[in-house]
Every structure is written in structure tokens, then in C-alpha cells.
Structure 1
Amino acid sequence: MEDDYDDDEPFIYRLNDNGTGPGLLIKICAERGWRLYQGYSGGEEKWNLWWRTSAFPAACYKALGDWQFMNHIPKGGSICRKDSLSRLLRCMRKIYGSIYDFSPPSYHLPLEYAKLVSECARLRRGEEAPGVVWIHKPVAQSQGRGIFLFRSVCEMRCGSAAVVQRYIERPLLIAGYKFDLRLYVCVPGYRPLTAYMYADGLARFGTDKYTLSDIHNPYRHLTNSSLNKTGPRYAECKDRIGSGCKWTLKQVRRALIGRWGVTEWLVWQRIRALVTLTLLAQAAGTPPAKNCFEFYGFDVLLDDTLKPWLIEVNLSPALASDCEADVTVKRPMLHELFDLLGLPMRHTGLALLQGPAQTTCSDDENASLPRPRTTKSPVVSAGRRGTRWRRRRTLPIHCVTLQPPMSDKFIETKEANGGRSSKSSSELSTDNSDEQSPSTASSDPPEEPCRYTTAHRKRLSSAAGSWGNGVRWDRAPGRTGQWVRIFPHVLPHDDQGLSEIAEFGS
């Protein structure tokens, strides 16, 4: 995106590649005063937020400007493929032991078909039960398509690549109906890992009562709302559940208040640990990225002992508003998500992104923060004589900036009083970033300053640990609205971290 936007230009959001997307998301963006992307203007992509259902090509990350944000992190979707998630968790369990015992045993077809047959035979010989139930999940399908249950390998229909898991036969029930929890998680970055979970969520019910005597009825065992909407009892007013197939998380807590007891706090801490450990499983393979975030949908199932089990992770959780529960949870969640990320509210011009006025503060007042520069940064021009001053772009900021980001344009001049070339702000930023990332140090000698490219400025800003809008995730807030930070638990300077942790789930 161009560096020199006019202050009156609007905040532009872009949906997928054709401008279509969930109606609720479009409504939220309109409520925030944003405008829909209409195409190219002057050969440059003038958009600020690109929301895409699928992953972005690698070239999009390379061309990302300081004023642009995308809703996917490079390689951030590894845990969203059923086979990849299973492999990552299996590997982590071999290394760290039973702490990763929150996913059912899994087998990848067709590679591990022989292992599955052997395990089925072993369980059949060692148990008096009529047979262990398994669930077959195609790797490349969603919304419950292609999922079925079976007891014998002979009943399994092999097709494309799939994951077969041990079925959780004793789930927690409400009025005889099976349900799982859809929890929303936001990850602004993996280097370092920073993760937030929304305090509210959805419970998705099957529309027929649960029983193992009929494992071929998907409305008894699968909780996907897109599947249960087609069931014959979806609109029927069911016992305690009512019509439809969704509740809010608050409704679930009220319904289970007698069964939770004092263990409710412990259950939610286990769920938080489950989410954090899952994210850590792919953190090592995720490269650093700026101005990118990941919005996950975690599906968690509770068994009758209140132990949480990870079912799957969704890369782009559904944002449809099919029922009242959807609107109750998702509408404030999206608003608070954009607030958390530092994106503007009621924004009609980029001038509203500028930060507070930069004032010189003494070391006694705030010794932990670097002193902001309030003067224009002179840079010697190697290609022309004299001086040339350019308009400094306003600083982008929203709510949690603790350090002003670097300016994107550098001014070329010499000091008139001494005839000496003063040190540029780019060189100062490079000096400050040496301690954090040696790879970002400038290779140019101090006496020969040059104009930095956009890619170089992005590397320097990444070394400073801040986004293009000035948000510092190394000093992430403990809570924004109902988005609660679940990792890291406590920051070195965060005195309220433990209290924020204790609030979650209460």
C-alpha cells in the first residue's frame, strides 16, 4: 500500500477475492464505519484489512504494508488439518508425555491401515464389550461431511485420506443430548506466542438423543450445526434444549451448575491449557509475521468426568448468524476482536489512526520506555545537493501502543549550523534493534545513510516487537472486552496477570 495516504481516506476492508463474505462480518464492518474494497486504484492495492476464508499465497505476505492487516499467519493453519493436527499432537506427546493426553488415539488412512486393524483385533480380544466404536473423518472435508461411526473394520468405507479416532463413548449430556463447545481463539503472533480466548462461546447440540445402540444416525452423534439444521427435529422444541441446536456458553453453565460444582474453575483451566498446548505444537514451525493474526475455532468435547477432549481446530470458523445464540456471541466478539487488534472504531479517515501527541518525557517519569523523538529526522541525500523535506506520515495507533512506531519516510537534509550530517532516525532504530535481532542490523556504515526500502522497514519494526499500527504484543493487554489473554499467563511488567487468569471461566 502506498506510504502517503491522505488523512481523509477511509479504512478499507477486503473480503476473500470476490468481495463476498458472511453477512454478519459485513454488518460489523459497516457499524465500524469501514468501506468495502472496490478494486485497484492507480496500480496500488488500497486496502487496510483483508479477511480471507482460505490461506493467503506467500507473495501476499511479502507485499504487506505497514497499514495493511490480514487474518491469517504464514503456516498458521497446520493444526487445522485433521491429519496434521494428529501428527503434531502425537509427536508432542512422545516428547512431553501425558500432558498432551487430550486427543483420542488416531490412525491415518491409508498409511496406518494395518496398525488400525491390529489395534481393533487387540481390543476385541481384551474387552467384553460388543466392540469399541471408531469415528472416521475425511481430511479434506468440513461441516460433518463424510464422517461416520463403525465398530468393525469391515464396516469402514475407505476412500480419500482420512483420520480414524477412538470414539468418546461417554460424553457429557444435557437432557440426553450430546453437545460440544465452540471456543474462539485469536493469535496475533507466534514469535513470541500470544494467544487470547473469548470468554463466551457456543454449545452445539445433536438434534436426536444420544445412544450407542444406533451409531449410524448422525443426528445423535455429530454436533455440526450445518448438519443438524437438516435434521427432522431441528425446529422441534426439544426437552430443555428447545428449538434449534445451539446455546451460548452462559446457558451451558447455568444448565450444569449443579453438576459442575467447585470443579468449574478447574475445567476451564484445563480447557485453557488444552488450547495453549495445541498452539505450542505448531509454534516452532511458524515463521515471524507482522500485521497478521489467526482467528481459530476450537471444538472441545467434555466427557462425563468433565475431562475436555480436543475434537478439531477450524481455520475460519463460521460467522453465520442463523439463530439468536449466534448473534448474541459473535456480534460483540467481532467488535472486541478488532478492538484487541488495534483496528479503528467508527473510522472514516486514516487520521484517526494517529497516536497521541509525542511529548518528551524524563527518565524519572518513565525509565522503561524509550524517549520518543519529536523532531524531523534528517538524512543526507547521496544523489542531490541541498535539502529536501517531506511530510511525515501520521503515527498509526489505537489503544495499547507503548512505543511509537518508526516513520515510513525519511527526510534528507544537513544541519545548517554545523555542516555535519546528523544521525538519522532509521540508524537510531537500527542501533536499538541490535539487542533483539542481530539479523535486522543495518549493514551500511553510519556515515553513509541511505533510503530504506519497505521490506527493510518492516524488518526493523518486527525487531522492535510492534505491528504497523503500533500495537506491542510483547506487552499485550491482559484483557480487552471478553478477550482474555491465555498465553503468556503473566508478563514481566503485568501486575494483574494472575487476576485476569482467575477471572476467565468465572
Structure 2
Amino acid sequence: MWADIMKVTYCTDMDKSVIVHNFEKRGWMQVGPEDDWNFYWAVIQSCRSIFSVEAGYRMNDNQIINHFPNHYELTRKDLLVKNIKRYRKDLEREGSPIAERMDGPGKYLYLDFIPITFVLPADYNMFVEEYRKSPQSTWIMKPCGKSQGTGIFLINKLSKLRKWSKEARNPLNPNLSKESYVISRYVENPLLIGGKKFDLRLYVLITSFRPLKAYLFKLGFCRFCTVKYDTSVQELDNMYVHLTNVSVQKHGDEYNSLHGGKLSVQNLRLYLESTRGKCVTEKLFANITWCIIHSLKAVATVMANDRHCFECYGYDIIIDNKLKPWLIEVNASPSLTSTTVNDRILKYKLIDSIISLVLPPDGIPDVRWNKCPTQDAMANFDLLLDEELAAQDDRDNCNGKPKGLTSKWK
């Protein structure tokens, strides 16, 4: 009917076959960003331009784009920390039991899912105060606006930070002096498999922030370091030991291009059930869900909730040896580069599933749609949270768990 009459047009400024092939298989027609498009898969810079006040661009009802205007509230490392800290304080003021504190300042019983973090240079004095409480600990420094492991280093002595600070103020390093960093307590007791450190890369799709509608891609994976974990001072600068980023590990001598140092979440789950038991494994994945949902709630009030937008975020989570998950960072443009055959299949399914979920049943972008997909349209995604459905469940006085919450990872 209408889908047959209207030819869906798309544009993208990302040269990725997993994106283009998904559009082409739907019979969509490619156009340029200056033309009349319905679906724009854009890089962050293009979105920034479209949503800028200077551009004066107004999207119509049949246009959608793959980023929210101020996605950086979640994906910039310093802003993520700031928003989570504000969220905790807001819940405390409201008297919410979720914000219950543990013994000691700044310790939370339920909202303790990010490592202790400070923004430098602004929080330098607060960091030094915290550092002196446990001078034997290791800290990790990350530039706020960079990704793929760029500019990251570890410190275990205050003198090393002072040296960095001195270099940052050097006028001969203009780029470094303008860059703000976050410094976080390093998770020194990561869960190891085969003696190697790994993290989880999970894909979380948001179709709305108010009400919050979030979905978790079923086919997440673990990313492994190529060198066995070692906390000795000699290995402190060896990023093949400490950083799981594929962009870092693929340059190592031990990198295996067949499996790419990756393990599926499903296989991780089976491994944990066999070694730690089903009960604690279920609890771990429930805690991962909790961590994701509350990180999203922390930014929901400040996010520009444009109905033309959706976004797929790449969540990086480290599990420690007590099976506690730690949110390390959130990526606005998770890599769509395929390093293995399985990786290509996974990312093709990811894009295919995203397109199916963000479009109405007739396949035509329409911001007037209520963004409640059918079960079939959700494909490889599980519902994490739909506040609209949960509110409806409450109004209907349903018994048991609200339908607006996932049960898959509980």
C-alpha cells in the first residue's frame, strides 16, 4: 500500500557495507544529505551540523536520524560521571531507597556501578585526597573526548600525574593542554578467563528518552586482551595487558585474526554457569541490566528527546572477580568495522534489527508513531525498559512483574 507508493530514501556518510547492504535489501534508494531523505545514518559531526542553530534545518515527519542532538551527555566520559553523580544526589533528596549509602562518604549500596572518578584538571585536589587514602592503588587516565584507546595510560604514583600535569601545561603541547581527562580507580581484580582480562561490549538501542524506551541486543560479545593479565609495575605501560579495545589489540603479536579475541555473551554465560553456578550468573546479568538502565535514567532528564532520533550505544562493562559489573564507558558510534566473519554477521544483524525496530509496521519513517514495536520487529533485541508500557501496566493494576520491564536478563 503506502510503502509501495512511497520510495524510502536513505543517506549515509559512513562507508560501511553492513549499513548500505541493509538499506539496499529493503529496496531503498540512496540520496545525498542535501536531497530529500527519510533515513539518515550519520556520523556524529553530521548530526551536530544538522541540529545546530546556525543550520536552521527542520526535519519533517517522515525523517529519522541515528543520533540524539546531545548524545554526549551519556558518551563523553566526564559528562557521564557528572550526570550519574547528579542522579544519585537527586534520588537522595527524594528519599529514594535506591540511593541508600554504604559506610563511608560517596559509597552507594545500589548505585555503585562506576569506578571512583574525577575530572582533571578541575578535580585535582579531590583526586589527591582520595589517592592518599590508598596510595598503593592504580588509576587509569583517559582523555574525555577520544575513543578506541587513544591517549590512555595508567599511574600508580602521584609523581607520574604531576609529570603529566607539567607536560600538559607546556605551550609546546597545545593539543594536550586543551584536553580534559578523567582519572578513575583502575579495576585491579578483573575476572580472568585463560589468565586474560576481558570486557563486555553490549549494544543498547534507545528510541526515546522521555518516556525511556531501551532495548538490549542479544548478540553482545567479550573482547579479550592478547597478553595475560599482570599487575606488576613492569607491565603498567603494556596496553596489550590492560586495554581490551580491538583497535589496540589487533596490533599485538599474539592477536588471532580468526576469532579476533572475541567470545559471545552466550558462551560467557555458559562458562560462568559451569564454573560459578547458575544463580550467581543470573544475578550478574541482572546487575548488568540494572547498571545500564540507571545510567540511562541518569541522563534522561537532560537529553534532548527529539522524536526524529534513535541511537545505538556501545556499552563497555568490566566484570571483577567477585562478579560485580562496572560500567567503564558508553560509545556514541560503536565500531561497525568487521574484524572476522562472525563479527561481520553480528554487525549486519545489529543494523538489520535496529532498522526493523525503529520503523513503524508499514516500514515508512513516521515520528507520529508511538514507538511500540511488535515482538517480530524486535528481532534480535530484548526489551530492557519501556516506561510507557510500565505506566500502563501500573494503571491496569497488573499483578507480577510489569510488562514494560525485561525478564530475559533478570
TM score, norm. by length of structure 2? 0.81
Aligned with 1:299 (options 313, 316, 330): 316
Aligned with 1:103 (options 114, 120, 127): 114
Aligned with 1:112 (options 119, 123, 128): 123
CA contact (8 A) 1:173 1:304 kept: yes
Change (3 A) 1:47 1:502: closer
Determine which structure has the larger helix proportion and give its number. 2
The amino acid across from 1:80 in the alignment is: T
Q: Counterparts of 1:5-44 in structure 2 under 5 Å?
A: 8=5, 10-16=7-13, 20-38=14-32, 40=34
1:343 Cα deviation (Å)?
Answer: 6.1
Q: Counterparts of 1:406-445 in structure 2 under 5 Å?
A: none
- Whether 2:239 is the aligned partner of 1:335: answer no
CA contact (8 A) 1:86 1:106 kept: yes
Aligned with 2:159 (options 154, 163, 172): 154
Q: Residue in 2 aligned with 1:56?
A: 48
CA contact (8 A) 1:248 1:325 kept: no
1:8 Cα deviation (Å)?
Answer: 4.7
| Alignment RMSD (CA, Å) | 2.7
CA distance in 1, matches of 2:81, 2:3: 48
Deviations 1:234-288 (A, max 9, x none): 038xxxxx85222221222233232341222221111111111111111111233
The amino acid across from 1:201 in the alignment is: G
Deviations 1:132-181 (A, max 9, x none): 01000011211001111110021232333100000000011111111111
Aligned with 2:133 (options 122, 141, 155): 122
Q: Residue in 2 aligned with 1:400?
A: none
Secondary structure at the aligned position of 2:129 is classed as helix
Change (3 A) 1:235 1:7: closer
1:215 Cα deviation (Å)?
Answer: 1.6
The higher relative CO (CA closer than 8 Å, separation ≥ 6) is in 2
CA distance in 2, matches of 1:173, 1:24: 32
CA distance in 2, matches of 1:176, 1:245: 13
CA contact (8 A) 2:38 2:63 kept: yes
Q: Residue in 2 aligned with 1:66?
A: 61
Deviations 1:14-36 (A, max 9, x none): 113xxx43222122222222222
Change (3 A) 1:112 1:503: closer
Secondary structure at the aligned position of 1:340 is classed as helix
TM score, norm. by length of structure 1? 0.67
The amino acid across from 2:143 in the alignment is: P
Task: State percent identity of aligned pairs.
Answer: 30
CA distance in 1, matches of 2:36, 2:71: 25
CA distance in 1, matches of 2:304, 2:337: 31
Q: Counterparts of 1:8-407 in structure 2 under 5 Å?
A: 8=5, 10-16=7-13, 20-38=14-32, 40=34, 45-54=35-44, 55-57=47-49, 58-59=51-52, 63-96=58-91, 97=99, 98=108, 99-124=110-135, 131-156=136-161, 157-158=164-165, 159=168, 160-213=179-232, 214-235=235-256, 243-261=259-277, 262-342=279-359, 353=363, 396=364
Change (3 A) 1:116 1:315: same
1:103 Cα deviation (Å)?
Answer: 0.4
Deviations 1:41-76 (A, max 9, x none): xxxx31111111204332578511111111112223
- Whether 2:382 is the aligned partner of 1:484: answer yes
1:308 Cα deviation (Å)?
Answer: 0.8
Query: Structure 1 stretch 274-283 or stretch 96-105: which is displaced more?
Result: 96-105
Q: Residue in 1 aligned with 2:408?
A: 504
CA distance in 1, matches of 2:56, 2:17: 26
Secondary structure at the aligned position of 1:263 is classed as helix
Change (3 A) 1:502 1:314: closer
CA contact (8 A) 1:203 1:247 kept: yes
CA distance in 1, matches of 2:405, 2:385: 10
1:39 Cα deviation (Å)?
Answer: 5.9
Query: How many residues are aligned here?
Result: 364
Deviations 1:173-227 (A, max 9, x none): 1111111111111111112111111122021111101110122110111000111
CA distance in 2, matches of 1:39, 1:476: 27
Larger Rg: 1
CA distance in 2, matches of 1:91, 1:327: 39
Change (3 A) 1:211 1:169: same
Gaps of 5+ in 2: 92-98, 100-107, 169-178
Change (3 A) 1:39 1:224: closer
Secondary structure at the aligned position of 1:256 is classed as helix
The amino acid across from 1:147 in the alignment is: I
Change (3 A) 1:280 1:31: same
CA distance in 1, matches of 2:245, 2:229: 14
CA distance in 1, matches of 2:406, 2:305: 30
CA distance in 1, matches of 2:404, 2:126: 45
Gaps of 5+ in 1: 125-130, 237-241, 345-351, 354-395, 398-466
Change (3 A) 1:39 1:270: closer
Q: Counterparts of 1:467-482 in structure 2 under 5 Å?
A: 467-468=366-367, 470-473=368-371, 475=372, 477=374, 480-482=378-380
